[in-house]
Structure 1
Amino acid sequence: MTFTLATWNINSVRLREGLVAKLLGEEAPDVLCLQECKSPVEKIPLEQFAALGYRHIVARGQKGYNGVAILSKTPLEDVDGRDFAGLNHARHVAARLENGVVIHNCYVPAGGDIPDREANVKFGQKLDYLSEMRDHFRAQRPHKAILVGDLNIAPREDDVWNHKALLKIVSHTPVEVAALAETQEAGRWVDITRQDIPSGNLYSWWSYRSPDWDAADKGRRLDHIWATPDISGAAHSSRVLRAARGWEQPSDHAPVFATFDL
């Protein structure tokens, strides 16, 4: 079974229903993982997605904030939904495909603006969230699994537009990068995007604050696709659909893709 997977922080699935439909119609991934849906599950606009062939969904939602969903052309089994750090946020859902692959869709807290847990509760919540993810995957080491989502950290120097300028900016601070590395190591996750694109600047997010995001190109790679070692070798064709950042009323994130031959 060959399938293509995409992950996208949509920043309101109801507001950007048309953009999701555009992506599904034009790119036709077999599985689409959405974050920041900002909708209760029952109000996610499923009819249009079903008409495009995506009749299966596993999701966790809440009104106005957070929310994660997995849309699929083929059946999904709901297998998990963790409340890491006890935040009572809809930030994780896991589903099993017919071929046995488990997909974890994650939305790690952004962490606020100040990289200090004493001065900024949200930064502490982000670190706690990553610590609990780490402990979970260390205790229940995953196999035949994929983890995707907006992890809100750009770990490498070439994952940001200016490494030195962003060292004290939330999403690229050394403490966050170390926490993400520990989480990755705990599950022995392989960074599929960088396995396929091992060098060079690569971004999936550009701030709304930039008057011309494309020309300025001050991006960060916040959105990730990981896989366990037993299936990482089956992955290929990774890419970021940068053009989606320029669609009308876009999310500030672009979709990230990978294909798996399993």
Structure 2
Amino acid sequence: MREPAPKRQTRIAALVEARGSARITDLADELGVSVVTVRRDVEELAQRGELRRGHGVARSLRPIAQESTATGDTIGMVVPERNTYLTEVVQAAREAAEKAGLRLALHIAADERGTERAVRQALDAGARGLLLAPRWRTEAEARADHTWLAELEVPVVLVERRPHRGSAVYGLDCVRSDHAHGVHLTLEHLTALGHRRIVLAARDDSPTARVIRSEFAAQTAARGIAEGCLVMLSSRTAGPDPR
């Protein structure tokens, strides 16, 4: 399904603001749309006063502190394409970076092989550290990224991802939402209303969905209601075995 123009334009504005400037061709490649489409979006954003349009480039309206660019104090953040779940995370990371006197440069991983490419792009642009939310729709994809991730020579923090114990990247710092507690709060609310037959509709092609499914099974079992609770897979690519 084609992404609506307003949502795409919001993403373009966020990318330009995070980087200070971005080439139209690079934005088109990262967003998976034509150069003509991005050029039209940039024109509309410029008319609304959300960015400045140059020859083949879009520029942020916000000046970037000279001391930050001079010392290369830039943090690269890599997130999957079309992941609205991380929008607030990106904004919070940008605000935290600014308070620390740093610049956050956002990079988009457009496909399953795009994470490493986006990381290399961030490092080539001078990033001194990385906030990384790999796609990792399957365990196999996670294992494929472990080798090159373990060899990176800059600090890396995994965002909304936690590698398994014993993996090559288990020692990396990570931060993620407390999904287990979210499942707990949901079940507390529903069972307090008297519900004992609860259906979870979830994907299985994301690390977040796998955590939620696992916690749902464990917590309904602990409450003695597992027999009446079902999981429905809500993705065309989902299957019974998330590995």
TM-score interval, normalised by the smaller of the two chains: 0.3 to 0.5
TM-score (norm 1): 0.32
TM-score (norm 2): 0.34
Q: Give the structure, 1 or 2, with the largest relative contact order (CA under 8 Å, sep 6 or more).
A: 1
Give the strand-richer structure, 1 or 2: 1
